[in-house]
Amino acid sequence: MDLLDTLTAKGLRGEAPTREEALAVLATTDDELLDVVAAAGKVRRRWFGRRVKLNYLVNLKSGLCPEDCNYCSQRLGSKAEILKYTWLKPDQAADAARAGVAGGAKRVCLVASGRGPTDRDIDRVTDTMAAIKDADPEVEICVCLGLLSDNQAERLKAAGADAYNHNLNTSENTYGDIATTHTYADRVDTVQKAHGAGLSACSGLIAGMGETDEDLVDVVFALRELGSDSVPVNFLIPFEGTPLAKEWNLTPQRCLRILAMVRFVNPDTEVRIAGGREVHLRSMQPLGLHIANSIFLGDYLTSEGQAGQTDLDMIKDAGFEVEGAGEATLPRHRADVAAAASGCGTAASACGSAASACGSGGGCGPCGGHSHDAPVSETADESGDSGDSAYSRDSADELRSDLVKVRLRGAGTELAPNA
């Protein structure tokens, strides 16, 4: 197929396709699907080999967000029966993080629902990061606290954060359809603040909210223009009790085409399969590894993922290997750019998703919460809980709520985490 030959050639050179070519990927047929995956796989292997970066989420506080993001189980007015708790103590968060690192996670993603952090919240997260780094100085830490105010990104960077996650989620044109308590421009501003402070920018999208192909292409090109080092691709998890509970628009094939389009537009960027992969890709998850080079291990913010050992077995059985703590995630040329932007030392350092602490290439799933001193919790974009499903609109009567499992273990409970 001429289209795939063109996309592969551009991707191997690190070049982006045109908008028309990106749209054409989404319009391919199921008969062409394996060819699309194979083409995207060549680009993925060119820049990332057969490595899979593992990330682990810790939900620092959950529920009762003052924001009205329609996709989120923690939103204002949500009736989803999720865990609700206020801030974890630093030692509690460190214990949760330790489980993920022991399972092979290279990066820990600290998420708190809400509009955005107060100065006291920054202090809390600073103490939590110190507790985690005391146990494992090499672990990468990505923070997701919502909209940032002036100088907050700099404080997080000085305290040892490597990256900041804040997703754009959807196109600027349709953003008002999923949230009204903040704007698309607010989100862009936070990503720019994080990048400007020398943090690795982690920003992605949520597919399956009723958007068009044009919306998907718009947001993916916007993420490229923002210089996101890591692009989490979330598939909406339609939680009962949220406005998008009946939005079951995705098939496994559609999810793979979306991942391929994201890879072609961002050939040398970390692409992560984030929230919803178990719900929507299901038995086709291993094919996603041929396109994306990063996943979350275990559970998400408010939903359960598959068993951590199952994730590890899937990676091994598919012929991939877990990326080690000493390996740089981003290609050398991307690490050089990240190092220069953050003032870090050499490209071999942790900048650009390398092993240490200068801003790594990944990020957290759908992180992007908001806050304003809400009593308990707020919103989180980070990785977790967005949601589509594996069915097309034609079969939307089959809501398959059995596929959506609320997290009832790990952070905020007495039960062992899934890692």
Helix count (H) and strand count (E) of the chain?
13, 10
Mean per-residue pLDDT over the chain, rounded: 85
* Strand ranges, E, within 30-129: 51-61, 107-112
pLDDT at residue 408, as a whole number: 66
Q: Which of 202, 255, 344, 364 is catalytic?
A: 202
pLDDT at 139 over 80: yes
Give the active site residue among 98, 187, 257, 272: 272
Q: What is the pLDDT of residue 323?
A: 96
Q: Is 358 a catalytic residue?
A: no
Contact in structure between 147 and 190 (CB atoms under 8 Å):
yes
Of residues 207, 155, 224, the one with CA closest to residue 365: 207
Lowest mean pLDDT among 126-130, 136-140, 319-323, 345-349: 345-349
Q: How large is the average pLDDT for residues 50-75?
A: 86
| 255 is known as an active-site residue | no
Q: Give the residue from 300, 255, 248, 308 showing the smallest Cα distance to 274.
A: 300
Give 40's contacts (C-beta < 8 A, 6+ positions apart): 11, 259, 260, 263, 264, 290, 291
Question: Residue 175: is its pLDDT beyond 50?
Answer: yes
pLDDT at 340: 62
- Residue 221 burial (CB count, 10 A): 18
Nearest-10 crossing angle of helices 184-196, 213-226 = 30
* More confidently predicted of 402 and 147: 147
Of 65-69, 176-180, 321-325, 345-349, the range with the lowest mean pLDDT is 345-349
Q: Check residue 337 and give its pLDDT.
A: 64
Say if residue 96's pLDDT is above 90: yes
Name beta bridge partners: 163.
142, 200
Q: What is the pLDDT of residues 206-263, one digit of tens each?
A: 999 999 999 999 999 999 999 999 999 999 988 888 888 889 999 999 999 999 999 9
* Greater model confidence, 390 or 283: 283
Q: Which of 65, 255, 358, 367 is catalytic?
A: 65
In the chain, where are the structural domains located?
2-403
Look up 72 and say whether it is catalytic: yes
Task: Give φ, ψ of 97 to 5 degrees.
Answer: -65, -35
Are 369 and 379 a contacting pair, CB within 8 Å? yes
Q: Choosing from 51, 107, 115, 142, which is the catalytic residue?
A: 142
pLDDT score of 398: 58
| Cβ atoms of residues 68 and 180 within 8 Å | yes
69 noted as active-site residue: yes
Q: What span, in angstroms and rounded, lies between the C-alpha atoms of 390 and 249?
A: 7
State the CATH architecture for 2-403: Alpha-Beta Barrel (3.20)
Residue 207, beta-bridge partner list = 235
Q: 3-state SS string over 35-48?
A: HHHHHHHHHHHHHH
Cβ-based neighbours of 323, under 8 Å, separated by 6 or more: 51, 52, 53, 54, 106, 293, 329
The average pLDDT across 55-65 equals: 88
Distance between CA 118 and CA 223 in Å, rounded?
A: 26
Whole-number pLDDT of residue 29 = 97
pLDDT per residue over 303-362, tens digit each? 778 999 999 999 999 999 999 988 999 998 887 666 665 554 433 333 333 333 233 332
pLDDT of residue 64: 77
Percent of residues, the chain, with pLDDT higher than 70: 84
| Strand, coil or helix: 382 | strand
Q: Is the pLDDT of residue 407 over 90?
A: no
**Closest among 320, 307, 312, 243 to 278, alpha carbons compared:** 307
Instruction: Please list, in sequence order, all residues whose beta carbon lies within 8 angstroms of the beta carbon of residue 141, skipping any fewer than 6 positions away.
Output: 107, 108, 109, 110, 129, 132, 133, 160, 161, 162, 163, 357
- Look up 142 and say whether it is catalytic: yes
Global confidence as pTM? 0.85
For residue range 282-298, list pLDDT tens digits in order: 999 999 999 999 999 98
Residue of 44, 69, 257, 367 marked active site: 69
pLDDT value at residue 339: 62
- Between CA 66 and CA 212 the distance in angstroms is 28
Candidate list 44, 75, 98, 109, residue with the active-site label:
109
Q: Is 344 a catalytic residue?
A: no
Please tell me which residue in 51, 72, 187, 257 is annotated as part of the active site: 72
